[in-house]
C-alpha cells in the first residue's frame, strides 16, 4: 500500500506540475508584448497562497514528502507569474495587485504560520493548517462553477477550455486516490469535491461541444441571411412603388370630367342604330318633324 500510494503520488506530482506550468504560454506572450493587457492577476496570487500553505502543511506532516515537492514546485511557478504580472501590469492594476499580494501572500500567509507555530502544539498544528488548506482548495475547484453556468446558458463550451478541465479532473482524481491510501482527510475531501466538479465539467463539454452559442447562431443568421433580407425588403419596396403608381393612375382616371348624360345616351343610340338590320332601319327612318320639334328624348 505504501509503494502504491507513492506511485500515485508521483503521478499526482506530474499532473499537478503540468497544471501549474499551463500559464507559461500566457506569460511568454505577456513578456513579448510587455503588457498584461486584460489578464487578471488574482488567480496567480491566490494559487501562490494555496501552494505555499500546502507546502507548509507537507513540512509539518511526517508523510508529506510528495505534498511538499508538488506544492513547492507550484509555489515557485506562481511566484514567477506574480512577479511578471507586477512588472508588466498597467499602473492601476499594478497597485491593486501589489496590495493584494501584501494582504494575502505576505500578511495572511505570515499570520497563519505564526499562529500555527505559536498558538498550537502537536497534531493541532496539522489540523489547523489542514482545514485552511482544504478550504482554499475547495474554493479553487469551485471557481469554474461560473464558467459551467455560462456553458449551460449559452449552450457553448467556448469559454471552458477542454485541456484545463481535463487536467484538473485528473489531478483531483489522483490526489483523491492518494488521500484514500494514506488516510489524509484534509487532502481527500477537497480533491473529492474537485473530482465531482471536474466530472460535471467534462459531461457539460460532451453535451455542448458540437453546439453553437445563441449569439454565434444569431450572428451567422445575420451574415448568411442578410442578402435574403435585403431581397425581401427590396421586393416589398418595389411592390409599394407599383401600388403607388397604380393608385396614382386610378386617381387620375377618376379625376377626369364625367361625360354628359345626353352624349352617353346619344352614343348608345348610335351604337344601337348601327346594329340594326336594314329592315329595322327602314322602319325607323325618316324622322317625323314632330319628333324633332318636341325634342323627343329618344333622339340624339
Residues 6+ apart with CB under 8 A from 172: 141, 191, 192, 193, 194, 195, 197, 198
- Residue-wise pLDDT tens for the chain (300 aa)? 568 889 999 999 999 999 899 889 889 999 999 998 878 888 899 999 999 999 999 999 998 999 999 999 999 999 999 999 999 999 888 999 999 999 999 999 999 999 999 999 989 999 999 999 999 999 888 877 878 888 888 888 877 778 878 888 999 999 999 999 999 999 999 999 999 998 998 999 888 887 654 455 555 555 554 444 443 444 444 444 455 545 555 454 444 454 454 444 444 443 444 444 433 334 333 444 344 344 443 434
Domain range for 51: 4-213
The DSSP output letter for 14 is: H
Asked if residue 130 belongs to a domain, the reply is: yes
3 state DSSP class of 292: helix
259 φ, ψ (degrees, to nearest 5) = -65, 150
In a domain, 270, yes or no: no
**22 burial level (CB within 10 Å; 0-12, 13-18, 19+):** middle
Q: How many domains does the chain have?
A: 1
CB-count burial class (<10 Å; 0-12, 13-18, 19+) for 261: exposed
What 8-state DSSP symbol labels residue 160?
Answer: S
Cell of 92: 492601476
pLDDT tens readout for residues 195-246: 999 899 899 988 888 765 445 555 555 555 444 444 344 444 444 445 554 5
Q: Residue 230 is placed in which grid cell?
A: 435585403
Does any domain span residue 51?
yes
Amino acid at each position: 500500500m505504501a509503494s502504491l500510494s507513492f506511485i500515485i503520488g508521483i503521478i499526482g506530482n506530474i499532473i499537478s506540475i503540468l497544471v501549474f506550468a499551463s500559464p507559461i504560454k500566457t506569460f511568454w506572450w505577456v513578456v513579448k508584448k510587455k503588457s498584461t493587457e486584460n489578464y487578471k492577476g488574482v488567480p496567480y496570487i491566490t494559487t501562490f497562497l494555496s501552494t505555499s500553505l500546502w507546502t507548509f502543511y507537507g513540512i509539518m506532516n511526517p508523510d508529506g514528502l510528495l505534498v511538499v515537492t508538488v506544492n513547492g514546485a507550484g509555489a515557485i511557478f506562481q511566484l514567477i507569474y506574480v512577479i511578471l504580472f507586477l512588472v508588466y501590469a498597467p499602473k492601476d492594476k499594478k497597485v491593486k495587485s501589489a496590495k493584494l499580494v501584501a494582504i494575502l501572500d505576505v500578511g495572511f500567509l505570515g499570520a497563519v504560520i505564526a499562529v500555527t507555530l505559536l498558538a498550537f502544539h502537536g497534531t493541532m498544528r496539522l489540523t489547523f493548517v489542514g482545514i485552511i488548506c482544504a478550504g482554499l482548495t475547495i474554493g479553487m475547484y469551485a471557481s469554474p462553477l461560473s464558467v459551467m453556468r455560462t456553458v449551460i446558458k449559452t449552450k457553448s463550451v467556448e469559454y471552458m477550455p477542454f485541456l484545463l478541465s481535463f487536467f484538473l479532473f485528473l489531478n483531483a482524481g489522483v490526489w483523491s486516490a492518494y488521500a484514500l491510501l494514506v488516510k489524509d482527510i484534509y487532502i481527500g475531501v477537497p480533491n473529492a469535491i474537485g473530482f465531482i466538479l471536474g466530472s460535471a465539467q467534462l459531461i457539460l463539454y460532451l453535451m455542448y461541444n458540437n453546439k453553437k452559442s445563441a449569439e454565434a447562431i444569431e450572428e451567422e443568421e445575420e451574415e448568411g441571411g442578410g442578402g435574403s433580407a435585403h431581397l425581401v425588403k427590396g421586393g416589398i419596396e418595389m411592390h409599394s412603388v407599383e401600388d403607388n403608381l397604380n393608385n396614382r393612375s386610378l386617381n387620375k382616371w377618376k379625376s377626369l370630367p364625367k361625360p354628359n348624360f345626353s352624349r352617353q345616351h346619344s352614343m348608345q343610340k348610335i351604337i344601337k342604330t348601327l346594329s340594326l338590320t336594314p329592315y329595322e332601319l327602314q322602319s325607323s327612318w325618316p324622322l317625323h318633324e314632330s319628333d324633332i320639334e318636341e325634342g323627343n328624348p329618344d333622339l340624339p
